[in-house]
Amino acid sequence: MNILLTSAGRRTYLVDYFKEALKMAGQGGLVHAANSEASPAFYNADRQVVTPLIYDRGYIPFLLDYCGKWQIDLLIPLFDIDLPVLSANSEAFARQGTVVVTAKPEAIEVCNDKWKTYQTLKGRGIRTPESWLSAEDAVRAVEAGEASYPLVLKPRWGMGSLSVYEADNEEEVRVLEKKIRKEIQESYLKYEAARDCAACVILQQKITGREWGVDVANDLKGDFRTAVAKVKSNMRAGETDGAMTVEEPRLEELGRELSGILRHKGNLDVDVLESGGEYYVLEMNARFGGGYPFSHAAGLNLPYALVMWASGREPEKEFLQARTGVRGQKDIRILVY
């Protein structure tokens, strides 16, 4: 069995997890990594490949050829802007025996487009911060007593902490909205933002409280298998840097509900904030997120489960569970190549 991780970046640990998963499952094969020679995970893999850029016309033909040549069984994208491109072409990959491990295009749109995230969650009765697509609407909500400063402004199609700001008054709202628009056009976010340039910034009511992460694991049919809740202790550049696994039935049930809505394959990374005894969903990513290693360290082994499902077998139940009370911190290591 062969596995390709695209946009692997600094996730050397995921390369290691999948290498180990192949051994545990008694499967031969290699773990391949794309896309940049500047990424540590690139050199941690068994094989490396530099692909065309994600929005290049040659990207999908190149990957189809590569997956066919190397008999790739699982194609696992790890970057938000990669997800819709690969998902839209998943049938072409399936015809040559490659499973793209992500969600369907419409589910990815719900995750990547923060306005659709808001609309979908509100429509399902799931708590999420009140949101607006214009400075005018947000300011009117404050003036009407329906919201209060500070407000959070960020790209509608964004990721991590890129261009995320807080505004304490109307003047800051208007200045920051313009600033974010400019920063979007100067970054890779401009590609997805091109769908609606006039409404590419989202404004949200700031909610304060304890931060949580939930890993929602589905099988390759999109069926729910488990959810692991973690309380976050540290964040760095929008990614979980420290966390502890906790048994929290309400979050596990939330994970089951989100699984049923999105029907994703593999992992769904969910950011949650606890305030006033209630849980608010902030964002969702239909991929392995920066908080997954903490679930893995506590016993959840989704890479192994994916390998087993792809080979037509069922993983042992113990690998779809996580021990509670396991604390973790990320460190820094040097990869020499």
Whether 181 is covered by a domain: the verdict is: yes
Whether 111 is covered by a domain: the verdict is: no
Is the domain of 160 the same as that of 200? yes
Tally of domains in the chain: 3
Average pLDDT of the segment spanning 247-274: 98
336: pLDDT strictly greater than 80: no
Average pLDDT of the segment spanning 74-80: 97
Report the greatest alpha carbon distance in the chain: 63
Q: Which domain CATH number covers 200?
A: 3.30.1490.20
237: pLDDT strictly greater than 80: no
pTM, rounded to two decimals? 0.94
Is the domain of 214 the same as that of 315? yes
Is the domain of 236 the same as that of 275? yes
Is the domain of 216 the same as that of 182? no
- For the segment 139-186, what is each residue's pLDDT rounded down to a tens digit? 999 999 999 999 999 999 998 788 999 999 999 999 999 999 999 999
- For the segment 28-38, what is each residue's pLDDT rounded down to a tens digit? 999 999 988 88
Whether 197 is covered by a domain: the verdict is: yes
39: pLDDT strictly greater than 90: no
Q: What is the pLDDT of residue 299?
A: 98
Confidence band of 333 (pLDDT split at 50, 70, 90): confident
Is the domain of 12 the same as that of 85? yes
Whether 121 is covered by a domain: the verdict is: no
CA separation for the pair 242, 233 (Å, rounded): 5
What DSSP string runs through 91-108? HHHHHTT-EE-S--HHHH
Q: What is the pLDDT of residue 314?
A: 98
Q: Which amino acid is at 252?
A: E
Strand order from edge to edge, sheet including 266-275 = 278-285, 266-275, 210-218, 224-236, 239-246, 327-329
Whether 115 is covered by a domain: the verdict is: no
Whether 336 is covered by a domain: the verdict is: no
Is the domain of 189 the same as that of 288? no
Q: Which of 178, 205, 232 is the last residue of a domain?
A: 205
- For the segment 96-150, what is each residue's pLDDT rounded down to a tens digit? 999 999 999 999 999 999 999 999 999 999 999 999 999 999 999 999 999 999 9
Is the domain of 145 the same as that of 65? no
Domain range enclosing 144: 130-205
Q: Which domain CATH number covers 310?
A: 3.30.470.20
Is the domain of 38 the same as that of 82? yes
CA separation for the pair 58, 56 (Å, rounded): 5
Q: Which residue has the higher pLDDT, 198 or 170?
A: 170
